[in-house]
Chains A and B, each alone.
Chain A
Amino acid sequence: MNSIDSHLPFLIMSALTLGSALVVVRVRNIVHAGFWLLPCFLGVAGLYALLQAHFFVVVQVLIYVGAILVLMLFALMLTQDVMNPNKPQTNRMSLPIGLFCVVFAAGVAAILTGHQWMNSRDVILPANVQTRQLGQALIGEYALPFEIASVLLLAALVGAIVLAKSEKEPAPLPLPSLEALPDSKPE
């Protein structure tokens, strides 16, 4: 199983992902939390790269970093005065819930690593073939889920407009970036 020769990139990427994820959920300043999401997503993209899923590296950066994150930051800017960053940003239950999550994570990890995974292979197909196959699948075998995903996005868009649009004034800030979403959807 050691066709990927070095452990080092994996360690760096996981550390980046998990470390910045921890900062995201713990840091008091919410805007900082938003910015810390960037290295986290990049770390995940790095892990995808290690898994030879090149297409998804690009998608991850484009969608998450490019669109979702920007959207989040807009919303954060809009509402940042609401929460006082000098007060605790977590609720009273944070310690027991933290313990619960640690135990649960350990349990899940133990079960998953203990499982005998069947037909584990080391075949790595060239990335470009993967992407082409994916494109073919999306207009062939998996056309229906693809279309339904677009209906899902449409419904989300309509819903977001309905909810966000105030009854009198024109649409508030988040909307322009929302409209950018379908374009950045992987085709």
Chain B
Amino acid sequence: MNLSDFLVVSALLFMIGAYGAFTRKNAIAVILSIELMLNAANLNFLSFWRFLHPSSMEPQIFVLVGITLAAAEAAVGLAVILNIYRDFGTINVEDISLLKG
């Protein structure tokens, strides 16, 4: 178990999240996937902190910011989706494409 192992796990987690964000039809599932991506970034920060710069404070602050952001994004995102649900009667991302070209 070393730094590389953690980095590989976080890279995989990030890409799984990205995959979900790109392919899920349900808008809420897209937000869930984005949360996975944010978690991957946080995991990265903490691994670097632990293995490379254990006395540095920056990664921890970044993780806090990341978590705050996740919470804020969840709140705004769900409100946006609720709004979409009211206007369109669906939350399928594919069906919401009035604007194009």
Direct contact of A and B (CB under 8 A): yes
Residues of A whose CB lies within 8 Å of any CB of B are: 1-2, 4, 6-7, 10, 14, 17-18, 21-22, 24-25, 30, 33-34, 37, 40-41, 44, 47-48, 50-53, 55-56, 59-60, 63-64, 67-68, 71-72, 75-76, 78-79, 82-83, 88-91, 93-94, 97-98, 101-102, 104-105, 108-109, 112-113, 117-121, 123-125, 130, 133-134, 137-138, 141-142, 145-146, 149, 152-153, 155-157, 159-164, 166, 172, 174, 178, 181, 185-186
Contact A149 B32 (CB under 8 A): no
Chain B 2-24 per-residue mask, 1 if CB under 8 angstroms from chain A, else 0: 11111111011111111110111
Contact B51 A18 (CB under 8 A): no
Contact B64 A104 (CB under 8 A): no
Ordered by A's residue number, 26 sampled pairs between the chains whose C-beta atoms are within 8 Å are: A18-B13, A24-B20, A25-B36, A47-B43, A51-B6, A51-B49, A53-B49, A63-B70, A64-B67, A72-B74, A89-B25, A89-B26, A89-B29, A90-B23, A90-B24, A90-B25, A91-B94, A112-B11, A119-B53, A121-B51, A142-B57, A153-B71, A156-B72, A161-B79, A164-B82, A164-B83
Contact B16 A22 (CB under 8 A): yes
Sort A-B residue pairs by CB-CB distance and give the 8 closest, nearest first.
Answer: A25-B20, A156-B72, A105-B15, A163-B79, A160-B79, A164-B79, A94-B23, A113-B4
Shortest distance between the CB of B77 and any CB in chain A (Å): 9
Contact B61 A137 (CB under 8 A): yes
Shortest distance between the CB of B98 and any CB in chain A (Å): 18
- Chain B residue contacts of A149, Cβ below 8 A: 64-65, 68
- Chain B residue contacts of A37, Cβ below 8 A: 32, 35
Q: Does B1 contact A (CB under 8 A)?
A: yes
